[in-house]
C-alpha cells in the first residue's frame, strides 16, 4: 500500500494526454490516501507552443470537481508545477495567489528562457559548465520565490544532453547545493524525491542520495515523493525504493499537503 503521490501530470499538461478518471482510479487501486495533480504552469520559454499554456481557471475548476467526485475514496489535492526562472517571479507568483492550491512544486525547466530538454543550452556549455550554471540559477530561484512548497527534481540537469551530460558533479557543486538547501530550509520549504530517474535510465532518484542525505543533515524535514507520471501506469512507480532509502537513513515519514501546509505521515 502506498501513502500518496505528489507529482502527477494529466491532460492539462503539454506533455500528457492522460485522463483524470484513470489517474485517480489508479491511485485508489494502489491504496493511496491522497494524491496531488500537479500539471505544468510554464511561462516565457523560447518556442513554447499553445499546448503548454495552462488555462488555470479551467484547470482549477476541473480538479475541484474531481475532488468532490472522489471525496469518499481518496483525498485529491489541487496542485501545480511551476517552471520558474529568476525573471518570471512576479508573474508566476501572482498566478499562484489567485487560486486555492493545496500544493505547489517549483522546478527549473529552463535557463535564460531556453528549455533544458531542447538541446540549445548544451550547444554552448559542456557538462561541468552547464551543471554549474544550472545550480547557480536554482539558487537565484530559491532566494527569490516564496509561493511554493517543495523544489522539484532539484538535480535533474543530468537527464538531458545524452551520455556526455549524465552523472551529477555533486562534490564540485557542493557549495551551491548547500546554499540552495540552507535557503530552502530557512524558508520552511522542502524537496521531493522524484522517482522518474529510474525510468530515464539514470538508475537513481532526483535528487541523488548524497543530496538527499545532505538535506536532512542540514536540518531539512519536508519531503514528498512523486512519480512525475504522465501516464497512469507510472503512478507510484519505484516508491518502494524511496521508502526503503528514507528508512535506511532514519527518516520514517513523508509529507502530504493541505492548503499549502505540510502534514507528516509515517512510512509503514
pLDDT-above-70 percentage for the chain: 100
When the pLDDT of each residue in the chain is averaged and rounded to a whole number, the result is 97
Mean pLDDT, residues 50-62 taken together: 96
Q: Is the CA virtual torsion 235, 237, 242, 244 positive or negative?
A: positive
At residue 234 the predicted structure's pLDDT band, cuts being 50, 70 and 90, is very high
pLDDT of residue 212: 98
Burial of 177 (0-12, 13-18, 19+ CB in 10 A): buried
157-195 pLDDT tens trace: 999 999 999 999 999 999 999 999 999 999 999 999 999
pLDDT of residue 68: 98
71-119 pLDDT tens trace: 999 999 999 999 999 999 999 999 999 999 999 999 999 999 999 999 9
Q: How far is 103 from 82, CA to CA, in rounded Å?
A: 11
Q: Is the CA virtual torsion 7, 10, 13, 15 positive or negative?
A: positive
Asked if 92 contacts 56 with a C-beta cutoff of 8 angstroms, the reply is no
Global pTM reads 0.98
pLDDT of residue 268: 86
25-45 pLDDT tens trace: 999 999 999 999 999 999 999
pLDDT of 1 higher than 80 = no
Q: How far is 118 from 245, CA to CA, in rounded Å?
A: 32
Question: Domain extents for the chain?
Answer: 4-266
CATH top-level class of 4-266: alpha beta
> For the stretch 209-232, what's the b/e string if a residue is b when 16 or more beta carbons lie within 10 angstroms of its beta carbon?
eebbebbbeeebebbbbbbbbbeb
Place of cell 556526455: 164
Range list of β-strands (E), 199-248: 223-226
Amino acid at each position: 500500500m502506498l501513502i500518496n503521490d505528489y507529482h502527477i501530470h494529466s491532460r492539462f499538461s503539454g506533455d500528457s494526454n492522460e485522463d483524470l478518471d484513470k489517474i485517480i482510479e489508479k491511485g485508489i487501486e494502489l491504496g493511496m490516501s491522497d494524491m496531488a495533480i500537479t500539471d505544468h504552469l510554464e511561462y516565457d520559454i523560447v518556442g513554447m507552443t499553445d499546448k503548454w499554456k495552462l488555462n488555470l481557471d479551467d484547470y482549477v475548476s476541473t480538479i475541484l470537481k474531481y475532488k468532490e467526485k472522489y471525496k469518499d475514496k481518496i483525498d485529491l489535492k489541487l496542485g501545480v508545477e511551476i517552471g520558474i526562472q529568476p525573471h518570471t517571479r512576479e508573474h508566476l507568483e501572482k498566478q499562484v495567489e489567485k487560486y486555492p492550491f493545496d500544493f505547489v512544486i517549483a522546478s527549473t525547466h529552463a535557463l535564460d528562457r531556453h528549455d533544458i530538454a531542447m538541446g540549445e543550452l548544451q550547444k554552448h556549455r559542456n557538462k561541468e559548465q552547464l551543471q554549474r550554471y544550472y545550480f547557480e540559477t536554482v539558487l537565484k530561484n530559491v532566494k527569490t520565490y516564496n509561493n511554493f512548497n517543495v523544489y522539484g527534481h532539484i538535480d535533474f540537469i543530468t537527464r538531458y544532453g545524452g551520455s556526455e551530460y549524465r552523472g551529477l558533479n555533486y562534490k564540485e557543486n557542493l557549495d551551491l547545493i548547500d546554499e540552495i538547501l540552507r535557503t530552502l530550509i530557512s524558508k520552511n520549504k522542502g524537496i521531493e524525491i522524484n522517482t522518474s530517474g529510474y525510468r530515464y535510465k539514470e538508475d537513481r532518484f532526483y535528487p541523488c542520495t548524497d543530496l538527499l542525505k545532505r538535506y536532512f543533515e542540514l536540518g531539512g524535514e519536508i519531503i514528498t515523493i512523486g512519480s512525475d507520471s504522465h501516464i497512469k501506469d507510472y503512478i507510484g512507480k519505484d516508491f518502494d525504493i524511496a521508502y526503503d532509502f528514507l528508512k535506511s537513513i532514519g527518516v520514517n515519514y513523508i509529507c502530504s499537503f493541505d492548503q499549502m501546509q505540510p502534514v507528516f505521515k509515517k512510512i509503514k
